[in-house]
Structures are given as structure tokens and as C-alpha cells.
Amino acid sequence: MCISHRIADHYSLSSFTKCWAAIARRDDSSLISPVFNSATVFPPRNTPDFRPNLKSPSVHPLAAEVTMKTFLFTPAAINALKLEITNTTSIANPSRVEAVTAFLWSRCAAACGSDASVACHPVNIRGKIPSLTENSFGNLFQMVFAESRGAASWIGLAEKLRSAFVALDVARLLGERGFEAAKENFMEISKHLAKGNVDVFRFSSMCRFPVYEADFGWGKPVWVSYAGVPNKNCVFLFDSVDMERGGVEAWVVLTPQAMERLQGDLSFLHFTSAFA
């Protein structure tokens, strides 16, 4: 399945698919329809001058310029990463997405030979604004980003990420200047992408999204994957197949040279393993 990002984000798509599947198997008890109330929170505006471009020069996902590998972080590995963060920083309760993102940012930047890098991460704002429920349909996310210059430990990057997440003020997205606040964030990320001397790593987490709940009558999905990744330096996080245990699958897109270095990185291999 695919959908234009002008219409909806991945959470909306997965919720829609779950609802569609419930209709197909006539399961009214599981039927939770999408709520189309985002326009009441963010009234439509005529913005012909705003055309955000969060893409670096694209290449075909199967072309020689990029390669994609899937890595598994087991619950034990994630707990070890989280414990290292809590033991060495003031972050009391890091999420598994925070821990895995910071670690992957560090190792991918090292594999790319980055002197300066930026990590971009969308944040689902459902539940952060009272009138938006988990079933609200639309592009209900905000981008946050963190910068790193020079050598930095992955623990230091975890602190930068936490600061970026904490700094997100959803209240600024409401009211008269709400659009301007959201626009500033996207434009800042676009500037980093246009520089060329900074490696931009784009992360996106589908953890806890209802992607494994779409049962059309022949059972729930055995494995959910991502297709059509046209850009390098992208990382997509999913719940592992045994998601009850709390593992994470990381789909990493890098140049072949960077991927080879990543797969030979002993620090990286200590916490994960490739399986696709």
C-alpha cells in the first residue's frame, strides 16, 4: 500500500488499513473509524510559497548508489543501551526508540565519515494536543532535529536527541502563528539538506503503530516491511516480529561503501545483527 504524504502520515495509513481489514471481515467490535478533525485544530491556509523539500538528490532504491539492510535489536540489547544512557546521563527513562536512534546515528555517522551530522526525527503529535486522538487522520507530526559537530559519543547524541524532543512545543503549533512555527522547523531542516557539507540522517519510527493489526480474514501479518526508499542515510524503525518482547527492526539505507563499514563496525555488531 502507498499514499501521498500530502494526505496522511504513516500512522494514519496503518490505522486506515486496520479499519479496512475490520470491515472486510465484518468485525464491528474492532471497527474504529478514522476521525477527520485535524482541520479544526489546524485550519487550512493558502500557502503557495511554502514547498518543503526534505529530500536530498534521489536515486532509485535498487540502484548501485544505495543499499538497504535490516538489523535486529533484541530486547536484551535495547535494555543494555538504555541502561548505559541512564548510568551516564541525567536521562531517567529513555525510550527504546531514543536509545536505538542515538546509537544508530552514532554508528551510521562513523560509517559515513561524518565530521558534522544532523538527525531528523518526526514526532507523532496525537495525544499531545487534547483534541487530537490516536484515530485522528492526517499529517499529524512535527519534525525535530539535533546537530552534532566533531567526534561525539553515542551517549552524547542521546542527550542531544532528548533535548530536541523536550524542546518540541506543540502549543506553538496552535493559534494564529501555528503554521509559521511548523514552517520554520521544516525550513531549518531543508537548509541542512541544501548545505552539502553536513550528513543528514532521517529517522522514522513505526514502533507501536498498528501495522501488525490488519487482519483481512486470513490472519495478522507475519512480517511488515518498507518499500520504495529513494534516498541514502534513511533509517526506519519497526517493532520486531515478536513485538510483545519489545525488540526493534532497523531498516538502514546507506551507500554501499558506508554499509560495508557499518557491517564491519565491532561496536555496532556488539548490539545488533543483520538478517536481511
Domains delineated in the chain: 10-52+63-274 (3.30.559.10)
Alpha-carbon dihedral 181, 182, 187, 192, rounded to 10 degrees? 100
Pairing of strands 199-205, 234-239: parallel
Do residues 35 and 133 make contact, with C-beta atoms less than 8 angstroms apart? Answer: yes
Do residues 141 and 123 make contact, with C-beta atoms less than 8 angstroms apart? Answer: yes
Give 264-271 contacts, CB < 8 A, sequence gap 24+: 265/107, 265/110, 265/111, 267/107, 268/107, 271/73, 271/77, 271/80, 271/81, 271/103
**Nearest-CA neighbor of 112 among 274, 231, 237, 259?**
259
Q: In tens digits, what is the pLDDT along the chain, a chain of 276 residues? A: 778 877 889 999 998 898 899 899 888 877 777 888 888 888 777 766 666 555 554 444 444 589 999 999 999 999 999 999 999 999 989 999 999 999 999 999 999 998 899 999 999 999 888 888 888 998 889 889 999 987 679 999 999 999 999 988 888 888 777 777 777 777 777 776 676 678 999 999 999 888 888 899 999 988 888 776 668 899 999 999 876 678 999 999 999 999 999 999 999 999 998 776
| Residue bearing cell 558506508 | 258
pTM summary value: 0.87
Pairing of strands 248-254, 234-239: antiparallel
